[in-house]
Chains A and B, each alone.
Chain A
Amino acid sequence: MSALIEAEHLTRILPAVVPVTLVKDISVTVGAREFVAITGPSGSGKSSLLYLLGLLDRPTSGSLRIAGEDVSALTEDARAALRLSTLGFVFQFHFLLPEFTVRENVEIPMRRLGRLSRRQMRARAGELLESLGLVGHVDKRPDQLSGGQRQRVAVARALANDPPIVLADEPTGSLDSKSSEQVFQILDQLVHAHGKTVLAVTHDIGLADRMDRRLHLVDGRLESDERRVMLSGA
């Protein structure tokens, strides 16, 4: 199994009068088809780690390879290109563009990438939304949807360019338990039915326990890295 994410000694220090260490010397390797929870108390650096792995932030020291490519030396533009094609983001808040319809929101990453024709983009956006149970909502605006529905649109947008890695920052953090469960099921499906690698930051231990692997952070350090024993067939 080839490693999709290889981080070695990642450290992120916020420069300030009193420098704040967000992430301290974390080395972790994540392969394909992994479903990884990043947990830890507030301020333990779990989101910061996710932003580093998602190329939204640059580490102060340490090296990072995404899909075999050393990204530490890449220019901002090259990192943006990699985010566009290889990484999908889902945040705690849906972060959809309010002026665009659901379908248009999902089409935006595809249009930026520009690999498909407009007709193909439309079709793909429709399929994605349909597979996430959003038939009949494609032409609505985000503010006409419920929180859970919006979060599912955000997932569809993250999947628009079919990236191998999906990063989720508290994807269920602002949802009720029913919607939470739906979103969790979708992420689970992504890994086990579609072969994606999903890393999700969560403080919900119940959900984290149901994922395949759990990275536990305390004070910016990787405290534990546990794999769930596969209860196959049970």
Chain B
Amino acid sequence: MRLLLDLAFTHLAGRARQSFVAILGVGLGVGFSVAMAALMQGSQDDLIANLVDSMPHVRITDETREPPRQPAEAAFGATAFSGLRPRDDDRGIRNPAAVRAALDAWVPGDMAVSLRTQGVVRYSGRDVGAAILGIEPEAEARVSSVAQDFVQGSFSALSAGGNSIVIGDRMAERLGAAMGTTVSVVSSTGLVRRLKIVGLFHTGSTARDEGEAYVLLKNAQILSERPNVINEIRIKLKDPEAARAVAARAEAQTGYKSVSWEEANESLLEAIVIRNAIMYTVVAAILLVAGFGIFNIVSTITHEKARDIAILKSLGFREADMRRLFLMEGIAIGAVGSVAGWALGFGLCLVLAQITFELRGMGSEMSRLPLAWSPWHYAIASGFALLSAGIAGYLPARKAARLNPVDIIRGAS
């Protein structure tokens, strides 16, 4: 109602300085909440983007969710066997060409097959254990993020010569090897092959830079004595969000364990949820504190204007009118503070976006703070602010509305 608005306005105007401080309190709360949300969201997006880029979106391996049943278990309906000697399985994805063709038919993205095996890279008497990946260079370049991380050489150099290898720069350092050096690769079956280094990569992840070596698929199959076998299919999707669905469908179709990037990083994503919970708790706390400012001023006004309340009630204003009046005053402060906070938050984001810093060890590359802009940040912050303002206004408003005009009028005369 206009009349109540007019009354609310005169009350706040009569306490301009205090109102200003209360508005400032809400504004600062909303502003910093918005800036914090932008930073949190930005760093989260950045983290996930790095995660999504650096690993295959879906990885199909030659494992199954359930341990394979032994033939004896399948043949007899016994509840349990003891002392059963398991049959040795030929590990690996069977009939890779058919599996690949089946997936190719519908998977929206690129696919690379590989054989992952363990081995040791040896040079000048030094041994470094490594995951040896047998790959098809062209397909690998489309799927793996390592393709962008080459310091020297590339995946395609593998196909040029027959016996070549690509390793991380940290491994090369440990071995004392360099581009063009010929190293020995010893597989778990004991076979040794001499391969020439045709590429060095630096991903920034020590585990990979020190522990991964890429060879041609054919060479890996020879080293592990498993001709025509692959044990890993990695998929890079056009839309990483579809990973879960694609993984589920691929698993249903092939029977092999298919892991989406979300599943592989579940604990990290959980940590992000917790981080968000912490952020919103802090936002709520900041705005709750701002609410105290509102409570303070509305409460002061109701005391100061006790006489006005008595007059208005004697003139025929209802209790609900009085409640609404002071509630409106609280919410008005919350609303004005919110808008001020939006401006402040936007400004803070602009300032934060200007900040650049150098990451050590990354050379001259300049980094900026990751910031994400979303109207939700603004909506949520002012949602909290208005809620807090509403409560802070309602409490004194309820008390003021109950005031008995006779008590005041008697007191005055």
Contacts and interface: CB of A to CB of B under 8 A. Distances in A.
Interface string B298-329: 00000000011011111111111100000000
B410 interface: yes
A184 interface: no
Contacts of A113: 316
B316 A81 contact: yes
Interface residues of A, number: 31
Interface stretch (A31-39, A84-92, A123-131, A222-230): A84-92
Contacts of B321: 112
Given A97-B7, A99-B10, 8 more contacts: A47-B410, A51-B409, A54-B314, A82-B316, A93-B413, A95-B409, A97-B308, A112-B321
A173 B10 CA distance: 29
Contacts of A170: 413
Contacts of A100: 10
A84 B315 contact: yes
Given A57-B406, A92-B413, A93-B413, A76 B318 contact: yes
Contact of B314 (A76, A82, A85, A89): A89
Given A80-B316, A80-B317, A99 B14 contact: yes
Pairs A-B, 3 closest by C-beta atoms = A84-B316, A99-B10, A83-B316
Given A76-B318, A76-B319, A84-B316, A56 B405 contact: yes
A188 interface: no
B316 A91 contact: no
A37 to B, nearest CB: 17
Contact of B315 (A47, A89, A99): A89
Nearest to B410: A47
Contacts of B313: 80
Interface of B: 2-3, 7, 10-11, 13-14, 307-308, 310-321, 404-406, 409-410, 412-413
Contacts of A87: 316
Nearest to B321: A112
A93 B308 CA distance: 12
Nearest to A92: B413
A92 B413 CA distance: 7
Contacts of B410: 47
A113 B13 CA distance: 25
A85 B315 CA distance: 9
Interface string A54-68: 101100000000000
Contacts of B406: 51, 56-57
A112 B2 contact: no
Contact of A97 (B13, B311, B314, B318): B311
A226 to B, nearest CB: 26
B380 to A, nearest CB: 36
Given A56-B405, A56-B406, A93-B413, A108 B314 contact: no
A112 B317 contact: yes
Nearest to B10: A99
A218 B28 CA distance: 61
A85 B316 contact: yes
Contacts of B413: 47, 91-93, 169-170, 173
A137 interface: no
A95 B316 contact: no
5 contacts: A57-B404, A77-B320, A85-B316, A89-B315, A95-B412
Contacts of A91: 409, 412-413
Contact of A77 (B13, B314, B318, B404): B318
Contacts of B10: 97, 99-100
Contacts of B7: 97
Contacts of A112: 3, 315-317, 321
A117 B2 CA distance: 13
Contact of A56 (B13, B314, B318, B412): B314
Contact of B318 (A51, A80, A108, A173): A80
A95 B307 contact: yes
B409 A83 contact: no
A125 B311 CA distance: 18
Contacts of B2: 111
A147 interface: no
A217 B152 CA distance: 110
Q: Name the residue among B10, B321, B405, B413 with the largest chain A CB count within 10 angstroms.
A: B413
A195 interface: no
Contacts of B318: 76-77, 80-81
A57 B405 CA distance: 9
Nearest to B14: A99
Nearest to A51: B406
B315 A83 contact: yes
Contacts of B412: 91-93, 95
B325 to A, nearest CB: 12
